[in-house]
Structure 1
């Protein structure tokens, strides 16, 4: 009888309902959608069309914008579901949107890491940087998409397997979860945390430290002060976006997976983990709005071209209005 009581307690903890998550997700995605769509569309347009010099991590920024746009474009379907609590579309579309969420997260992590590493490398090794080719960045970006795209496939596969036990009109947070063997679960957590969080954290922290040290060099007063400060600003902003958006999720990810696998059975840990999970996912989605700020404040070419084109558009509209009014008069 005692064991049955314990089992019931564990089951009730694992089945803890998080009633506020629907409102939280809906509000967050509504707030992110319009700024994320406009800012990333403008950023992608400016980066591709107006910046001819594809250095200073511009290629990685373009790919980061593409990753953000892929997630942003799926948000209307997420908003619909969390407001209406039903999924009238195809199951494939649900799994695709679910997949794009994690593809955006881990592609963003990789490209933010590449931006930090390249800016630091160009700063510390300026002569070697002159021989760096644009095709290297393109090859690295293509490799990231292939590796990350493949590595993120288990996320929708595990949830798809759990859909058999769920109603056909559920999606996202209400999808089922297929339990894995303990060894597989531990291996998955370890690889995801190392490749998707620990290694990028170490690289970004190292880049930040090396960039700060370079500013304290005795020769900094005579050469490259402005360039070093720009590099430091970019590395700091990459680190800021990374820690704000992705650190909470990866800290909670370990506990969340172990809770779903029923390895952790303490009711207080189960409840706190499940309650914090929606907040961590919402923070991860904020990167779609924070990344364009990184482009604007760390890339002078981006600011110049955006302001130049914006002013030219305003001038052309004013001239068209003046010519129209003169013709009427």
Structure 2
């Protein structure tokens, strides 16, 4: 078994990887989530469609997307000329987006499953319940994500030009660090993935239930499409990061000392972060392809814009002829 003293790891590729990924994400993520927020806010009366949770999901994505230009600048120029607070804020927003998105994806899955199973509960559900739950989620997730930038503020001073991937990590003893890692993995990955998988399987089972076969089949198919999309987004964007992050922390704590494992985990880490960031572009698919109201509203607004442009053009042509 090789020791880490003789184990070299090349990480220069991550600058190109991060800058390229964030450039690809920025414009589509900004446009898609801005439109999503605008359209979803006009559908808040659909209280049994998880619209409030979808609005909060798009806001979480926008918070991360708006920080991407600064990330692109740093990974392109390899220097940080701005305040250290701004660096840590951008770092914080990445984790805030990730874990807020995870929780809201879980809540969307749970709500659609429960409301499809028990339509009477959906009729009695109040919009203020979703608003209250969302407020609590932001408070809990916001406070829970504070340790991430605090742990990466090691070495920052007034003359520092490093940020993001180049930030140092504060040294923690093994036991407290493992406790924090366990809580983060349980609350941010294990519990949500279990809940989303359960909702997906139970919703799928309803479609094969002969007793319920002819009851609200259209709604059940929509609910299944929604929870399957949530599960797909979760597994594509967040599962690779959290699986890799567990071993990444063990390497930083010097628990894993195998050189091959060390190289594989550290090499895959930037890719897993990029996959997690892609949720900003993929989440709008959830709104469009699983919410018929969202699709109809987009078409309606698009038609209104086209009609307005045609009328304006006809008006100009008429004035020119006169």
**Do Structure 1 and Structure 2 share a fold, with TM-score over 0.5?**
yes
Matches within 5 A, 1:66-77: 66-77=59-70
State the shift of 1:127 in Å.
Answer: 1.2
- Name the residue aligned to 1:44: 37
User: 2-side partners of 1:185 and 1:167: how far apart?
Assistant: 29
Confirm whether residue 138 of structure 1 aligns to residue 121 of structure 2: no
Q: CA RMSD in A?
A: 1.5
Confirm whether residue 180 of structure 1 aligns to residue 172 of structure 2: yes
Confirm whether residue 324 of structure 1 aligns to residue 316 of structure 2: yes
State the shift of 1:265 in Å.
Answer: 1.7
- Name the residue aligned to 1:297: 289
User: 2-side partners of 1:150 and 1:161: how far apart?
Assistant: 20
Q: Which deviations, in whole Å up to 9, do the C-alpha atoms of 1:49-68 show, x marking residues without a partner?
A: 35532331000000000000
Q: Is the 8 A contact 2:48 2:122 kept in 1?
A: no
**Partner SS state of residue 297, structure 1:** helix
Confirm whether residue 171 of structure 1 aligns to residue 163 of structure 2: yes
Normalising by the residue count of structure 1, what TM-score does the alignment of the two structures yield?
Answer: 0.94
Q: Is the 8 A contact 1:61 1:115 kept in 2?
A: yes
User: 2-side partners of 1:54 and 1:225: how far apart?
Assistant: 20
Confirm whether residue 203 of structure 1 aligns to residue 203 of structure 2: no
State the shift of 1:272 in Å.
Answer: 0.9
Normalising by the residue count of structure 2, what TM-score does the alignment of the two structures yield?
Answer: 0.96
Q: Which deviations, in whole Å up to 9, do the C-alpha atoms of 1:82-110 show, x marking residues without a partner?
A: 00000000000000000000000000000
Q: Which blocks of at least 5 consecutive residues in structure 2 are unaligned?
A: none
Q: Which moved more, 1:214-223 or 1:124-133?
A: 214-223
Q: Which deviations, in whole Å up to 9, do the C-alpha atoms of 1:250-300 show, x marking residues without a partner?
A: 001111111112221211111111100000000000100110010000001
**Partner SS state of residue 156, structure 2:** helix
User: 1-side partners of 2:190 and 2:126: how far apart?
Assistant: 29
Q: Is the 8 A contact 2:204 2:224 kept in 1?
A: yes
- Name the residue aligned to 1:259: 251
1:50 to 1:120, Cα distance in 2 relative to 1, 3 A = closer
State the shift of 1:132 in Å.
Answer: 1.1
User: 2-side partners of 1:278 and 1:198: how far apart?
Assistant: 21
User: 1-side partners of 2:161 and 2:192: how far apart?
Assistant: 37
